[in-house]
Amino acid sequence: MPSNQLTESGQLRHFLTIEGLKRPLLTEIMDRAEQFSGISHRQVKKVPLLRGKTIINLFFENSTRTRSTFELAAKRLSADVMNFNINTSATSKGESLLDTLHNLEAMHTDMFVVRHDQSGAAEFIAQHVAPHVSVINAGDGCHAHPTQAMLDMFTIRRHKHDFANLRVAIIGDILHSRVARSQIQALATLGVGEIRVIGPQTLLPRESQTLGVHVYHDMESGLEGVDVVITLRLQLERMQGALLPSAREYFRCYGLTEEKLKYAKPDAIVMHPGPINRGVEIASSVADGPQSVILEQVTHGIAIRMAVMSMALASQSEQAEIE
């Protein structure tokens, strides 16, 4: 865990990874999200908690759903939000990342939400921001996507209530998935009974056994008796890297269909972090079926991001009072 992720009192200063965080803190994030989840159903979908705060979305990698939910979350907390357009910024004209960062800091920014295709980018930025600024990792390379993992945990808790007796299966490209790494860390921290990963050998990390997961290469035995099924997006460029023969072959072996889902428990829920490649990692009849909670995940993303933003900025205010 990055040494500067928590304050001296153990509160979130930045949110960069699930790794190293304790179970009470993950539970606190979900409890706080539970409080915020009702705001989306109000006529006026706002609370004044972050009024006067400035949050900048620094997305060096394209994303529609993640950026939109971060932006909505910040606005529902009454913060001022700016989406920094990398393609038209001085960064594209040769300005260094740190120069760009310090210029944005000079605008009295309180928080950066960072998405980058390089692992470790969010932590690098967190190491160089001013003490009063928080950094939230919105996905970095193959490393981590902690808010996605927490909205997934929140969704599981809403449906299954107790993590201890659950069997959870994650299907697909575990090797390159920052989502899967953060999910596995969160599931283990919350005490899930059994975590399974299912996929071809070419898409599983060599250190799978050290992650505390059970490895399966076929869907039938991997899905047997599970309570939660998480399918991962398959990056189609993997098809060109000799890691997989073809999309059709992948779907035949690892695509989640109604027939394969029958190996799971009858009340198992189906999740997917999106965006979905229908007919590649999941059949439309399952993605839109009665066991799917995929759209609930999107809704919960707003509440989880409201929780994380409010907790990080609250700890910054407390630290400022101490100093």
CA 206 to chain centre: 23
Sign of CA dihedral 234, 251, 237, 92: negative
Superfamily of domain covering 14-144+299-321: Aspartate/ornithine carbamoyltransferase (3.40.50.1370)
Looking at residue 109, its pLDDT comes to: 95
In this predicted model, what pLDDT tens digit does every residue of 216-227 receive, in sequence order?
999 999 999 999
Nearest to 65 by CA among 309, 300, 307: 300
Lowest mean pLDDT among 126-130, 243-247, 284-288: 243-247
pLDDT at 88 over 90: no
Cα(187)–Cα(312) distance, rounded to whole angstroms? 22
The single residue listed with the structure tokens 């000079």 is: 106
Looking at residue 3, its pLDDT comes to: 66
In Å, how far are 65, 94, 136, 269 from 76, measured between CA atoms? Answer: 16, 35, 17, 29
Q: What is the pTM of this model?
A: 0.94
Strand 134-140: give its sheet, edge to edge: 80-84, 54-59, 111-116, 134-140
Cα(144)–Cα(279) distance, rounded to whole angstroms? 26
pLDDT greater at residue 205 or residue 89: 205
pLDDT at 114 over 60: yes
Q: What is the mean pLDDT of residues 42-59?
A: 94
Binding residues for carbamoyl phosphate, as ranges, are 65-66, 115, 145, 148, 274-275
Tokens of 71: 């932006």
pLDDT greater at residue 94 or residue 36: 36
Q: What is the mean pLDDT of residues 96-106?
A: 87
The domains of the chain are located at: 14-144+299-321, 146-293
pLDDT at 166 over 90: yes
Looking at residue 58, its pLDDT comes to: 93
Tell me the percentage of the chain whose pLDDT exceeds 90. Answer: 74
DSSP 249: H
Provide the greatest CA pair distance for the chain: 60
Binding residues, as ranges, are 65-66, 93, 115, 145, 148, 178, 233, 274-275
pLDDT bracket for residue 36 (50, 70, 90): very high
The string of DSSP codes covering 103-158 is HHHTTT--EEEEEESSTTHHHHHHHHS-TT-EEEEEEETTTB-HHHHHHHHHHHHH
Binding residues for L-aspartate, as ranges, are 93, 178, 233
pLDDT at 60 over 60: yes
pLDDT at 45 over 70: yes
What is the residue-averaged pLDDT of the chain? 91
Q: What is the mean pLDDT of residues 184-200?
A: 96
CATH of 146-293, one of 3.50.50.60, 1.10.10.10, 3.40.50.880, 3.40.50.1370: 3.40.50.1370
pLDDT at 248 over 70: yes
Looking at residue 156, its pLDDT comes to: 98
pLDDT at 98 over 80: yes
pLDDT at 66 over 70: yes
Other CB atoms within 10 Å distance of the CB of residue 245 = 13
Q: Judge contact between 187 and 211, C-beta under 8 A.
A: no
Cα(271)–Cα(226) distance, rounded to whole angstroms? 13
Domains 14-144+299-321 and 146-293 share a fold: yes
Cα(243)–Cα(240) distance, rounded to whole angstroms? 8
Q: What is the mean pLDDT of residues 110-122?
A: 94
